[in-house]
Homo-oligomer: A and B are copies of this chain.
Amino acid sequence: MGSLRFLSPKEESQFQHQGAVELLVFNFLLILTILTIWLFKNHRFRFLHETGGAMLYGLIMGLILRYATAPTDIESGTVYDCGKLASSPSTLLVNITDQVYEYKYKREISKHNINAHQGNAMLEKMTFDPEIFFNVLLPPIIFHAGYSLKKRHFFQNLGSIITYAFLGTAISCIVIGLIMYGFVKAMVHVGQLRNGDFHFTDCLFFGSLMSATDPVTVLAIFHELHVDTDLYTLLFGESVLNDAVAIVLTYSISIYSPKDNPNTFDAAAFFQSVGNFLGIFAGSFAMGSAYAVVTALISFLCEFPMLETGLFFLLSWSAFLSAEAAGLTGIVAVLFCGVTQAHYTYNNLSSDSKMRTKQLFEFMNFLAENVIFCYMGLALFTFQNHIFNALFILGAFLAIFIARACNIYPLSFILNLGRKQKIPWNFQHMMMFSGLRGAIAFALAIRDTESEPKQMMFTTTLLIVFFTVWVFGGGTTPMLTWLQIRVGVDPDEDLKADSSQQANNLDRNPTKAESAWLFRIWYGFDHKYLKPILTHSGPPLTTTLPEWCNPISKLLTSPKAYGDHLKEDDTDCIVTHDELAMNFQEQAPLPSSPSAELNLDPKASLKIPSKENIYEGDLGLGGYGLKLEHTPGQSQPNSLA
Judge whether A322 is part of the interface by a CB distance below 8 angstroms: yes
Shortest distance in angstroms between A337's beta carbon and chain B's nearest beta carbon? 13
Cβ-closest chain B residue relative to A315? B31
CB proximity to B under 8 Å, residues A377-433: none
8 Å CB interface, A294-329 against B: 298, 302, 304, 306-307, 309-311, 313-315, 317-318, 320-322, 324-325, 327
Q: Is A28 an interface residue (CB 8 A)?
A: yes
- Chain B residue numbers with a CB within 8 Å of A306 are 362-363, 366
Counting every copy of the chain, the complex holds 2
Assess whether A17 is in contact with B324, with CB atoms less than 8 Å apart.
Answer: yes
Taking the closest CB of chain B, its distance from the CB of A297, in whole angstroms, is: 12
Distance to closest chain B CB from A143 (angstroms): 14
Closest-by-CB residue of B relative to A14 is: B327
Which 9 pairs from chain A and chain B are nearest by CB? A82-B82, A20-B324, A19-B131, A24-B321, A2-B85, A20-B321, A27-B318, A20-B325, A21-B325
Please state if A100 and B90 are interface contacts (CB–CB under 8 Å).
Answer: yes
Give the shortest distance, in Å, between A264 (CB) and chain B (any CB): 22
Min Cβ gap A270→B in Å is: 22
**Residue pair A310, B367 in contact (C-beta under 8 Å):** yes
Q: In the complex, what distance in Å separates the CA atom of A90 from the CA atom of B450? A: 7
Check if B96 sits within 8 Å of A85, measured CB to CB. yes
Interface residues of A (CB under 8 A from B): 1-2, 16-17, 19-21, 23-24, 27-28, 30-31, 34-35, 37-38, 41, 81-83, 85-90, 92, 94, 96, 99-104, 129-131, 134-135, 298, 302, 304, 306-307, 309-311, 313-315, 317-318, 320-322, 324-325, 327, 330, 355-356, 359-360, 362-363, 366-367, 447, 450
Collect the chain B residues with CB atoms within 8 Å of residue A447's CB. Answer: 16
Measured between beta carbons, the chain B residues less than 8 angstroms from A314 are 27, 30-31, 34
Chain B residue, CB-CB nearest to A83: B82
Residues of the B chain whose Cβ atoms lie less than 8 Å from the Cβ of A100: 88-90
Contact of A34 among B23, B41, B311 (CB under 8 A): B311
- Write out the residue numbers on chain B whose beta carbons fall within 8 Å of the beta carbon of A87: 99, 103
Residues of B within 8 A of A88 (CB): 99-104
Query: In the complex, what residues of B have CB within 8 A of residue A355's CB?
Result: 355, 359
Q: Is the CB of B94 within 8 A of A19?
A: no
Q: Which residues of B contact A298 (CB under 8 A)?
A: 35
Minimum Cβ distance to chain B for residue A627 (Å):
19
Most buried by B among A85, A89, A320: A85
Contacts of A92 in B (CB 8 A): 2, 94, 96
Q: Do residues A366 and B325 form an inter-chain contact, with CB atoms below 8 A?
A: no
Tell whether, in the assembled complex, residue B356 and residue A363 are in contact, meaning their CB atoms are under 8 Å apart: yes
Q: How far is the CB of A357 from chain B (nearest CB, A)?
A: 10
Residues in B whose Cβ lies below 8 Å from that of A81: 82
Contact A34 B310 (CB under 8 A): yes
* Chain B minimum-CB-distance residue to A15: B131
Cβ–Cβ < 8 Å partners of A327 in chain B: 17
Identify the closest chain B residue to A370 (Cβ): B310
Please name all residues of chain B whose beta carbon is closer than 8 Å to the beta carbon of A19 when the two chains form the complex. Answer: 129, 131, 134-135
- A359 and B362: CB pair below 8 A? no
A310 — which chain B residues lie within 8 A by C-beta?
30, 34, 363, 366-367
| Chain B residues closer than 8 Å to A367, beta-carbon distance | 310, 313
Q: Which of B20, B90, B325, B450 contacts A330 (CB 8 A)?
A: B20
Minimal Cβ-Cβ distance residue in B for A365: B306
- CB neighbours (8 Å) of A24 from chain B are 318, 321-322, 325
Q: Are B307 and A34 in contact (CB under 8 A)?
A: yes
Instruction: Verify B17–A318 contact, CB threshold 8 A.
Output: no
Query: Please, which residue of chain B has its CB at the minimum distance from the CB of A310?
Result: B34
Complex Cα distance, B306 from A366, in Å, reads 8
Residues of B within 8 A of A302 (CB): 38
Alpha-carbon distance A206/B306, docked complex (angstroms): 36
For A322, list chain B residues within 8 Å (CB).
20, 24
